[in-house]
Amino acid sequence: MKRVISIAIVSLVILSLVLVGGVYSGNVTKAATKEGKITIWAWDPNFNIAIMNEASNRYKKINPKVKFEIANMAKADVEQKLNTVLASGVKTGLPEIVLIEDYNAQKYLTSYPGAFADLTKHFNYKDFAQYKVSLMTLKGKVYGVPFDSGVVGWFYRSDYFSKAGFKANDLINITWDKFIEMGKIIKQKTGKYMVGFDPYDGGLMRIMLQSAGRWYFDKNGKVDIANNPVLKEALISYKKVVDSGIAKKVSGWNQWVASFNNGEVASVVTGVWIIGSIKAEKSQSGKWAVAPVPRLNIKGSVNASNLGGSSWYVLQNSKYRDIAIDFLKQIYAKDIDFYQKILIERGAVGTYLPAQKGKAYTASDPFFGGQKIFVHFSNWMKNIPSVNYGLYTYEADSAIMAVMPDVYSGKLSVDAALKKAEEQFKNKVGQ
C-alpha cells in the first residue's frame, strides 16, 4: 500500500511540474503562431535600428502574423519617455521591447520594480557573456537579453609603429606605463601623437576601472570612490598621459574621430563599435591593426575591458509580451546566421557566445592588414571582469571629471581629489 501511495505522490509531483512548466513556457511557445504587433524603442538608425529591422524580417518568416513598429529616437528621448511613463504608474503607452544602455540597467530595474519581464526561465544565460548577464540581474532574476558588446581594443597604425621600431608582439599584454613609454618613442620617431585624448571625458577611466574588476561602486552598489585603489591608479594614469605629451588634446566626439581619421595620432583605445569610424577613412586601409587594451599597474588588472554596450528589455505589462519574448528568443538566442550578418554589415559584436564560432568571426579583414580581428575581440570579451555599475555611473563619472583640472594642475593630490569627488557625488544624489 505504501508503495502505491508513494508512486501516486511522485506522479502528482511530476504532473504538477509538467503543468507548471507547460503553462510558463507554453504561452511563449504558442506565441510563434499568434497575431500581434511588436513595438520597439531604440536609438541609432545605422546600428540598433538597422539590426532590429534585420531581426524583425527574420522573425516574420517564423511568424508571418506578427507586425513590427520600430521607433527610432535619440537615446535621451528613449530614456526620458521611458522614465516619464514608468514614473507616472500608467501601464499603457509603453513598447513591448526597449533598448537600455548597460550603465543604466540597474537604475531602471531598481527604480521601477515589476516594470520589466522576468526572463530568467526563458533563456539559457550561460550562452551569453557573463559580464553582460550580471548587469541585468537583480535579486537572482534576469530581466534582459544581452545584445552588443563594448569589448575594448587598442587600434593602432601599424605603419607608424613599424617606423618607430615596434613589432606586433611588443603591444601584447602591456601596462599603461609601458603604453606611455612607447608613446614617447612614437612621438620622437614619427612626430605623431600616441592618442587623441579628451582629459575631461570619463570613457578611458571606465575602461581602466573595469579592467581591474572595480567601479565607482562596490559589489553591493555602495559608493566606492575615496578609498578605491583602482580608481586612484586610474587618476594617476590620466595625469601621466596628460603630463607625458603623448596625447593630442581633443574636445568631443568629432575632434576625437578626426584625430585618427586625418592621421595625427597613432592609436585609439576604445570599444569595438569604433571600427566603422576608423574604416570611414578608406585611404588608411591596410595600415591598421588591433592589440589588447593595456592594463593598470595594479594587482588584478587584466588586458581586457568594456566601454558602453546595451541590451533589450521586455515590458511586463505590454500587450504582446509573450510574442516579444519569443521573438528575442528565436533571433537573439538562436539565429547564428543573424549574428554573422550584423557583424559584417554593422560591426556589431553580439554577446551570444555560440554565434562567435561562425565564419564572420574568423574572417580576415584587409583594412586591418588581413588580421582576424574578431577572433581577438571574442577572446578578450570572455575575460572582461564583471562589475556592478550601480545606479549612478554617469553622476559618479561627472564628480570625478570635475576634480581632474585640479589634479592636472597639481592643486589637489589624487587622494584629496578622490575624497572631494565622493563628497560632491553624495551631495548630488543625496546619499
Give tens-digit pLDDT for 27-64.
555 666 689 999 999 998 888 999 999 999 999 999 99
Q: Residue 130 and residue 386: Cα distance in Å, rounded?
A: 7
**What integer best gives the mean pLDDT of the chain?**
91
The amino acid at residue 270 is T
Q: Which residues contact 346 (CB under 8 A, 6 or more apart)?
A: 46, 47, 50, 51, 276
pLDDT for 277 equals 87
> Over 60: is that where the pLDDT of 24 sits?
no
> Over 80: is that where the pLDDT of 130 sits?
yes
Please classify residue 75 by burial: count the beta carbons closer than 10 Å to its beta carbon, then call 0-12 exposed, 13-18 middle and 19+ buried: middle
Q: Residue 123 and residue 126: Cα distance in Å, rounded?
A: 9
Of the candidates 274, 281, 264, 279, the residue with the CA atom closest to the CA atom of residue 186: 264
Helix crossing, 50-62 with 336-346: angle to 10°? 150
Span of 33-37, 143-147, 156-160 with lowest mean pLDDT: 33-37
Residues 163-180, mean pLDDT to the nearest whole number: 98
Residues 242/406, Cβ–Cβ less than 8 Å: no
Per-residue pLDDT band for 91 (boundaries 50, 70, 90) equals confident
> Over 60: is that where the pLDDT of 252 sits?
yes
pLDDT for 29 equals 55
What is the H or E stretch that residue 257 is in?
helix 252-261
Span of 9-18, 123-132, 380-389 with lowest mean pLDDT: 9-18
> Over 80: is that where the pLDDT of 383 sits?
yes
List pLDDT tens digits, range 271-316: 998 998 899 899 999 999 999 999 999 999 999 999 999 999 999 9
Q: Which residues contact 283 (CB under 8 A, 6 or more apart)?
A: none
Residues 62-74, mean pLDDT to the nearest whole number: 95
pTM confidence score: 0.84
Q: Residue 221 and residue 399: Cα distance in Å, rounded?
A: 17
> Over 80: is that where the pLDDT of 203 sits?
yes
Per-residue pLDDT band for 18 (boundaries 50, 70, 90) equals very low
Q: How many CB atoms lie within 10 A of CB 309?
A: 23
List pLDDT tens digits, range 103-112: 999 999 999 9
pLDDT for 3 equals 46
Percent pLDDT > 90 in the chain is 83
Highest mean pLDDT among 131-135, 341-345, 411-415: 411-415
List pLDDT tens digits, range 343-362: 988 889 999 999 998 999 99
> Over 80: is that where the pLDDT of 431 sits?
no
Percent pLDDT > 70 in the chain is 92
pLDDT for 317 equals 94
The amino acid at residue 328 is L
Q: Residue 104 and residue 108: Cα distance in Å, rounded?
A: 7
Beta strands per DSSP E along 241-374 = 247-249, 267-271, 288-291, 310-314
Q: How many CB atoms lie within 10 A of CB 26?
A: 12
